[in-house]
Amino acid sequence: MAEAHTTSYYAATANQYAPFPRLAGEIDADVVVIGGGFTGVNSALELADRGFRVVLLEANRIGWGATGRNGGQITGSLSGDKAMAREFRRSLGAEAEDFVWNLRWRGHEIIRKRVSRFGIDCDLKPGHIQTACAPAHLPELRDMHLEAVRRGMGDEVEFVEQDRIGEIVASPIYLGGLLNRRNMHVHSLNLCLGEAQAAAGLGVRLFEDSRVLRIEEVPRPVVITAQGRVTADKVLLAGNAYHRLGKGQMRGALFPAALGIVATEPLSEDVARQINPQDLAVYDNRFVLDYHRLTADRRLIFGGGTNYSGRPSRDIAAELRPSIERTFPQLRGIGIEFGWSGLAGIIVNRIPHLGRVGPNIFYAEGYSGHGIATTHIVAEIMAEAISGTMREFDVFAGVRHMRLPLGTWAGQQAIALGMFYYRLKERFR
Ligand SMILES: Cc1cc2nc3c(=O)[nH]c(=O)nc-3n(C[C@H](O)[C@H](O)[C@H](O)COP(=O)(O)OP(=O)(O)OC[C@H]3O[C@@H](n4cnc5c(N)ncnc54)[C@H](O)[C@@H]3O)c2cc1C
């Protein structure tokens, strides 16, 4: 039985749509995509745009997973940017750094165009600042600023010194920041719902409440749900941290991390203007970071911390309230109306995990908490690969990923230990 969207701010303010049907009976397709989050929906859309007959199967509702639960920040960080530049040098040589730089902004362009082409109503707004919480964070942000200027983004970025940061974000904990007007924020669930409608308009057959139970591989793959079967030439696994269909080299590479996030009661216009007058998305520069932004109805959406058990916390609001009040003492006692959590797929080196298991079964997963822009890029890369243009797919698929042959539970404990080390190291920077 399908689960409804989690009780989040996003679900409470989602654009209404007629639910897609449950798969029943046997159908045939060129490609079957499993998972109705950003990866699956956008891959389906890209494939339909290229003329493929596509079926998308979602176990619950469109955007039910991390896609409908996240912080809504669209940033030029792909999480593992530095690791990518290092790894990609093996396949791309000296071109690797430029490739990664261009990749970092490609998702923004795809999202902007998609929203405008299909008229998607999703509160998409420009503006983001990455803040320093410790003096040691400043040099890294200055370097990022210099690189953006050197690469021609000078009119879109600004380094904000400590004496001005309070005018941009009225918090006592920030010592400066890198303001970026190309980055954006969005009502993530409404973006995905709009993209799903667009995909349907392009001929994709979408099914909700249609969990894939297993895949049979010969002679053409057959994807099996409780009441139906889809036979297709190609399969794309896009269930990210929520599916159990992975096999072979997929095993031991992705670890689900439960991230908690809240939305406050709506702030008055005065308070909203005082704490964040430019309506920016904000995240800080720590390894395990806090992030926040205002919604269209002036709630503060605030997320941070993480636990690597893969299980949600018992009381997310109580856990995040101290961080909210430390960031904005003027919000002490603010009502928290929504608290929810979602699973992000963490990869040890933070490079998205793309590949195939068998000749006809592709997978794309693992955006390490930075997936909104990245999923849109990856969807394009997967659609190209399934159409036969393998170059960018091969760059990702050629990455050497660390796999912890420990099973998910033990692997997660190892990751948690690693994160504890980084947090400790950060405390002494
Ligand atoms: C709390 C939180 C905050 C985040 N904040 C940000 C942010 O501010 N900015 C950013 O860039 N990224 C953020 N992320 C990451 C981002 O949300 C994800 O990287 C992205 O949404 C992943 O999309 P996806 O489609 O790959 O996976 P998901 O959205 O998780 O979708 C997977 C889907 O597959 C379905 N599924 C699973 N198994 C099956 C099956 N057997 N059959 C059929 N369907 C199945 C699930 O029901 C689910 O709907 C955040 C993540 C979380 C959890």
Residue-wise pLDDT for 218-244, tens only, equals 889 999 999 999 999 999 999 999 998
Count Cα neighbours of 73 within 13 Å in the Cβ-side half-sphere.
Answer: 30
Residue 143: which residues within 8 A CB-CB, separation 6 or more? none
> Which pLDDT value is given to residue 403?
82
- The answer to whether the CB of 171 is under 6 A from ligand 1 is no
The number of the ligand 1 atom at minimal distance from the alpha carbon of 62 is 49
Residue 269: C-alpha distances to residues 8, 71, 272, 300 (Å) = 22, 21, 5, 12
Percentage of residues in the chain having pLDDT higher than 70: 93
* CA distance linking residue 304 with residue 260, whole number of Å: 7
Residue 427 has pLDDT above 60, yes or no: no
Helical pair 188-201 and 96-118, crossing angle rounded to 10 deg: 70
pLDDT band (50, 70, 90) for residue 78: confident
Lowest mean pLDDT among 164-173, 194-203, 248-257, 365-374: 248-257
**Closest ligand 1 atom to 259 CA:** 1
Q: How many Å lie between the centroid of ligand 1 and the Cα of residue 192?
A: 11
Which one-letter amino acid corresponds to residue 214? R
Whether residue 426 has pLDDT greater than 80: no
- Return left, alpha or beta for 35; rule: phi > 0 is left, psi -120 to 50 is alpha, else beta: left
Distance 65 CA to ligand 1 centre (A): 4
303 lines ligand 1 (CB under 6 A): yes
- Please tell us whether the domain made up of 1-123+186-252+348-398 is placed in CATH 3.30.70.20: no
Residue from 242, 290, 308 to probe ligand 1 pocket by mutation (most atoms less than 8 Å from CB): 242
pLDDT band at residue 423 under the 50/70/90 scheme: low
- Position 288 confidence tier, pLDDT thresholds 50, 70, 90: confident
Q: Please tell me if the CB atom of residue 39 comes closer than 6 angstroms to any atom of ligand 1.
A: yes
Q: Measure 429 CA to ligand 1 centroid, in angstroms.
A: 32
375 lines ligand 1 (CB under 6 A): yes
Residue nearest ligand 1's atom 32 by CA? 239
CA 250, CA 236: separation in Å to the nearest integer?
A: 13
Query: Comparing C-alpha atoms, which of 187, 170, 180, 175 is closest to residue 145?
Result: 180
Measured from the CB, is residue 107 less than 6 Å from ligand 1?
Answer: no
Ligand 1 center from residue 94 Cα (angstroms): 33
Atom of ligand 1 nearest to the CA of 72: 8
Q: Given this model, what pLDDT does residue 308 score?
A: 55
Q: Is 44 in the pocket of ligand 1 (CB under 6 A)?
A: no
Amino acid residing at 358 = G
Ligand 1 atom nearest residue 75's Cα? 11
**Strands in 139-280 per DSSP E:** 157-160, 177-185, 205-207, 214-216, 222-224, 228-237, 254-264
What is residue 249's predicted lDDT score, i.e. its pLDDT?
81
Whole-number mean pLDDT of the chain?
93
Q: What is the pLDDT of residue 240?
A: 96
For 301-359, write each residue's pLDDT tens digit.
Answer: 999 976 555 566 789 999 999 999 999 999 999 999 999 999 999 999 999 999 999 89
- Mean pLDDT, range 74-88, rounded to an integer: 93
In tens, the pLDDT along 197-212 reads 999 999 999 999 999 9
